[in-house]
C-alpha cells in the first residue's frame, strides 16, 4: 500500500457556504481545503501552506521556485510567475550559484553513494563532492 493517501483532517473552521467543518484533503493534484459536507456543498480552496523554496528563478529573476505536482503525481519545481515564465526543474533547487559557471542555481541530486549538488545549467558539468 502506498503512502499517498491522506485521511481528511478537520480544521475546526466553518465552511463559508454551509457552516460545516472545513477539512484538509489530498486530491489528485495535491492538498486542498474542502467542505466536510461534500457532495451537498462543493466549497473548495487551495491549502494555505507555502511549498515554495528560497530559490529565485534564474531566468526571469522575479519569481521564486515553488514545488508543484504533475498529473502523474511527480514533484517538480517551477517559477511562480507561470505562464509568463515557464522555467521548471525536476530536482530540488538550492539557492547558491555554481562555482564553475556562476549560474545562480544548483540542484540537489541523491545518488546511491550519497547526495551531491549539480549545476542547473545544462551546458555546465559541475558536480559537488558527495556529502
How does pLDDT run across 45-63, given as a tens digit for each residue?
A: 877 555 567 889 999 999 8
Per the prediction, the chain carries an average pLDDT of 85
CA 44, 46, 47 angle in degrees (round to 5)? 115
How distant, in Å, are the alpha carbons of 18, 30, 54, 102, 103 from that of 99?
A: 56, 35, 19, 6, 8
pLDDT of residue 52: 62
Domain extents for the chain?
A: 9-46, 65-119
Specify the pTM.
0.61
pLDDT digits (tens, 9 = 90+) for 7-18: 888 888 888 889
pLDDT of residue 102: 93
Measured from the Cβ of residue 37, the count of other Cβ atoms closer than 10 Å reads 17
The helix (run of H) or strand (run of E) holding residue 33 is strand 30-35
Give the separation between CA 13 and CA 21, rounded to whole angstroms. 6
Q: Which of 18-22, 30-34, 123-127 has the lowest mean pLDDT?
A: 30-34
Amino acid at each position: 500500500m502506498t503512502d499517498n493517501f491522506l485521511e481528511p483532517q478537520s480544521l475546526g473552521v466553518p465552511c463559508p457556504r454551509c457552516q460545516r467543518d472545513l477539512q484538509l484533503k489530498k486530491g489528485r493534484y495535491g492538498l486542498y481545503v474542502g467542505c466536510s459536507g461534500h457532495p451537498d456543498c462543493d466549497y473548495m480552496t487551495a491549502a494555505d501552506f507555502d511549498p515554495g523554496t528560497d530559490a529565485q528563478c534564474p531566468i526571469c529573476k522575479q519569481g521564486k521556485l515553488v514545488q508543484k505536482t504533475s498529473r502523474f503525481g511527480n514533484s517538480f519545481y517551477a517559477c511562480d510567475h507561470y505562464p509568463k515564465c515557464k522555467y521548471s526543474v525536476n530536482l530540488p533547487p538550492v539557492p547558491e550559484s555554481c562555482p564553475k559557471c556562476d549560474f545562480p542555481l544548483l540542484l540537489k541530486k541523491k545518488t546511491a553513494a550519497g547526495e551531491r549538488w549539480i549545476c542547473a545549467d545544462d551546458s555546465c558539468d559541475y558536480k559537488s563532492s558527495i556529502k
